[in-house]
């Protein structure tokens, strides 16, 4: 066995540990700064930076380096952007809604970070579902369910944080149907290409985001 082979698990563990620590550090710092020191506005305006950090860590640790991983990530980014642009400009998808100013620069009314978020979520939820579930069809359904869970939590905090807002207030059922169908297509693509990634990092990134959204959801509504 070569020294390079022996060192690979240690390097992978170290990268994953650093990435996991960084993810939790940023999310917990934002919660503490917002809830205890009344700096919500400052932290929320830094959301694009946090999403870009998550993207960088995903590329580094998952990792995304092979051709099929890069092509799938790019395709999911473009699919997410196209669907959201269609929704914002026409209302055909998701409903009548518009994005605010706290998710960064936009293209035809849709922040680039939204396309990134679609791709990142597809990868980490696909990885989690593939680890938990052995039956292929249920893996797809599991990934979609995890993506929808985050969307439900996000919808409750999006308007107050100026992420996005639906006409009339609450997100309609139609939004969740469209979200679920798009997530389904993305999970099918992820599983069809048999993408494999770092489960520990994927799980921690998902849990950090879910906890972050849940705490703010409870804070805003109860």
**Residue of higher predicted confidence among 56 and 40:** 56
pTM: 0.92
Do 176 and 147 meet the contact criterion of CB atoms below 8 Å apart?
no
Say what the pLDDT of residue 9 is: 52
Residue spans of beta strands (DSSP E) within the chain: 97-99, 106-107, 110-111, 164-166
pLDDT grade for 94, boundaries at 50, 70 and 90: very high
- Please give, one letter per residue, the 3-state secondary structure of 143-178: HHHHHHHHHHHHHHHCCCCCCEEECCECCCHHHHHH
Task: Kindly report which listed range (8-12, 38-42, 51-55, 105-109) carries the lowest average pLDDT score.
Answer: 8-12
pLDDT of 108 strictly over 90: yes
Residues 89, 115, 207: CA angle, nearest 5 degrees: 130
Task: Kindly report which listed range (3-17, 106-120, 135-149, 190-204) carries the lowest average pLDDT score.
Answer: 3-17
Say what the pLDDT of residue 11 is: 55
What is the C-alpha separation between 168 and 145, in angstroms, rounded?
26
Domain total for the chain? 1
**Residue of higher predicted confidence among 220 and 100:** 100
Quick: pLDDT tens for 1-43.
Answer: 444 544 455 555 689 999 999 999 999 999 999 989 888 899 9
What is the C-alpha separation between 120 and 118, in angstroms, rounded?
6
Quick: pLDDT tens for 121-171.
Answer: 999 999 999 999 999 999 999 999 999 999 999 999 999 999 999 998 899
Say what the pLDDT of residue 14 is: 84
Domain enclosing residue 126, as ranges: 3-221
User: Which DSSP helix (H) or strand (E) runs through 19?
Assistant: helix 3-35
Say what the pLDDT of residue 6 is: 46
pLDDT of 83 strictly over 90: yes
pLDDT of 188 strictly over 70: yes
């Amino acid at each position: 066995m070569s020294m390079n082979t022996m060192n690979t698990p240690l390097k992978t563990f170290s990268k994953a540990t650093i990435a996991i620590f960084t993810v939790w550090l940023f999310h917990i710092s934002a919660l503490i700064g917002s809830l205890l020191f009344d700096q919500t506005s400052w932290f929320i305006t830094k959301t694009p930076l946090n999403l870009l950090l998550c993207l960088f860590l995903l590329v580094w640790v998952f990792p995304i380096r092979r051709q099929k991983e890069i092509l799938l990530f790019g395709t999911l980014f473009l699919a997410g952007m196209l669907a959201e642009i269609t929704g914002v400009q026409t209302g055909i998808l998701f409903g009548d809604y518009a994005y605010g100013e706290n998710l960064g620069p936009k293209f035809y009314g849709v922040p680039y970070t939204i396309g990134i978020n679609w791709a990142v979520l597809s990868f980490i939820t696909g990885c989690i579902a593939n680890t938990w579930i052995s039956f292929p069809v249920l893996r797809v359904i599991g990934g979609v369910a995890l993506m929808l869970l985050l969307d439900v939590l996000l919808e409750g905090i999006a308007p107050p944080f100026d992420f996005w807002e639906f006409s009339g207030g609450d997100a309609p059922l139609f939004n969740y149907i469209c979200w679920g169908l798009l997530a389904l297509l993305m999970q099918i693509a992820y599983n069809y290409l048999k993408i494999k990634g770092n489960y520990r990092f994927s799980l921690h990134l998902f849990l950090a985001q879910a906890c972050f959204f849940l705490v703010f959801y409870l804070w805003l509504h109860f």
